[in-house]
């Protein structure tokens, strides 16, 4: 249920609604809108009719059921797109289209520094790099773990770029949070509910990737796990889904962007690298993402893709990344945004 407050309802009226929601056994989540506040009452769906009685309280305009299974993620609760602040002056979900660039894995100080300098000079606003890698084969490179996080922190100090890095195991949440500016949940963990609940308790932005076989509704239910724990800074990322097609590594579901934009207020990014699996297919999908209304991109870039420890074939060389960024600006401008 959502309790829609009247325009200009007092702080006392809002506090009273919150108090009554708790009394009825639900969790109140206040969303401060531009013109009015709403209170999401989240909890056991059975007996939710009792919440309807709150309509008589001072300052309450109406009480409406949310028909979608996800509540806090839905646009019904919050019509304005969420602006997720990463660091002061850097927002995902606002007017600026934000590009994250960097290698699949952190491999050495030289490699991550070189990547960071290259993506920054081409216009990327954040650096990506995996220190904990969820590899399909147990024999593949598993990542540099904490040493990799330290190298990322050095690259951040060098360039000023905030870091996006993945946490694979719930046991490592605290460790990764010590270094990361944005915690990434990979496609293989989209429905790791124990991990999502832990991330919901952090005061840190979460980049949640869509699982390779999760529907949009399931994807939004995963976001709901994080939101329901109190962390509102969730960014969604479409990275391709598994289909019968083998020409590409996955199939980029570009229509997920407008569908998500309709259903949720959370920002939406596109990862064209894992979606396609081939470097030459990445730039066109970057342009498509901007045209479709995405809020940004997560792109794999490696100073020497042929030597990459993981995902070399889909990684752009710095020069190709820079050329893509130049052309991307035309699409971002056409979409009415600015390249941040
Ligand atoms: C990655 O970003 O390197 C990664 C492993 O992505 P995904 O979880 O989308 O496969
Ligand atoms: Mn990768």
Give tens-digit pLDDT for 248-295: 999 999 999 999 999 999 999 999 999 999 999 999 999 999 999 999
- Backbone dihedral angles phi then psi of residue 82, each to the nearest 5 degrees: -70, 135
Within a domain: 321: yes
Q: Whose CA is nearest to atom 3 of ligand 1?
A: 104
- CATH number reported for the structural domain that contains residue 98 in this entry: 3.20.20.70
Give tens-digit pLDDT for 303-324: 999 999 999 999 999 999 999 9
Within a domain: 74: no
Which residues are 298's β-sheet partners? 100
- The ligand whose atoms approach the alpha carbon of 240 most closely is 1
d(CA 324, CA 21) in angstroms, rounded, equals 50
Cβ atoms 162, 86 nearer than 8 A: yes
Shared-domain flag, residues 146 and 241: yes
Give tens-digit pLDDT for 88-108: 999 999 999 999 999 999 999
Shared-domain flag, residues 88 and 22: no
Shared-domain flag, residues 121 and 212: yes
Shared-domain flag, residues 37 and 109: no
Q: Whose CA is nearest to atom 8 of ligand 1?
A: 186
d(CA 26, CA 96) in angstroms, rounded, equals 36
Shared-domain flag, residues 297 and 266: yes
Give tens-digit pLDDT for 8-29: 999 999 999 999 999 999 999 9
Ligand 1 site: residues with CB under 6 angstroms? 104, 130, 134, 186-188, 209, 239, 271, 274
Domain, as residue range, for 44:
2-64
Shared-domain flag, residues 154 and 11: no
Please state the atom number of ligand 1 nearest to the C-alpha of residue 271: 9
Within a domain: 213: yes
Shared-domain flag, residues 48 and 185: no
Within a domain: 71: no
- CATH number reported for the structural domain that contains residue 57 in this entry: 3.30.70.1140
Shared-domain flag, residues 94 and 128: yes
Domain count, the chain: 2
CA 189 / ligand 1 centre spacing (Å): 10
Final residue before a domain boundary, out of 18, 34, 64: 64
- The ligand whose atoms approach the alpha carbon of 309 most closely is 2
Q: Whose CA is nearest to atom 10 of ligand 1?
A: 187
Average pLDDT over the chain, rounded to whole?
Answer: 96
Within a domain: 32: yes
């Amino acid at each position: 249920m959502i309790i829609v407050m009247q325009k200009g309802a007092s702080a006392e009226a809002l506090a009273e609604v919150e108090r009554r929601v708790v009394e009825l056994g639900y969790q109140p989540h206040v969303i401060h809108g531009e013109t009015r506040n709403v209170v999401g009452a989240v909890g056991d769906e059975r007996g939710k009719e009792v919440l309807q009685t709150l309509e008589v309280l001072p300052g309450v305009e109406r009480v409406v059921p949310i028909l979608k299974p996800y509540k806090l993620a839905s646009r019904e609760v919050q019509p304005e797109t969420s602006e997720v602040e990463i660091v002061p002056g850097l927002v995902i979900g606002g007017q600026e289209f934000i590009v994250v660039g960097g290698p699949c894995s952190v491999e050495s100080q030289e490699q991550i520094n070189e990547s960071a300098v290259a993506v920054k000079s081409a216009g990327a606003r954040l650096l990506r790099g995996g220190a904990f890698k969820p590899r399909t084969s147990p024999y593949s490179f598993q990542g540099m773990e904490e040493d990799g996080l330290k190298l990322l922190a050095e690259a951040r100090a060098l360039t000023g770029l905030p870091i996006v890095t993945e946490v694979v195991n719930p046991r490592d949440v605290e460790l990764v949070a010590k270094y990361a500016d944005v915690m990434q949940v990979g496609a293989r963990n989209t429905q790791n509910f124990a991990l999502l609940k832990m991330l919901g308790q952090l005061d840190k932005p979460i980049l949640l990737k869509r699982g390779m076989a999760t529907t949009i509704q399931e994807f939004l239910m995963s976001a709901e796990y994080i939101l329901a724990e109190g962390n509102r800074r969730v960014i969604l990322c479409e990275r391709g889904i598994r289909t019968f097609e083998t020409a590409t590594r996955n199939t980029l579901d570009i229509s997920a962007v407008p569908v998500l934009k309709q259903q949720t207020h959370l920002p939406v990014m596109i990862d064209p690298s894992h979606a396609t699996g081939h470097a030459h297919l990445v730039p066109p999908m970057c342009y498509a993402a901007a045209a479709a209304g995405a809020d940004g991109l997560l792109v794999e870039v490696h100073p020497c893709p042929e030597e990459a420890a993981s995902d070399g074939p889909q990684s752009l060389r710095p020069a190709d990344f820079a050329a893509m960024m130049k052309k991307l600006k035309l699409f971002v401008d056409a979409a009415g945004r600015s390249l941040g």
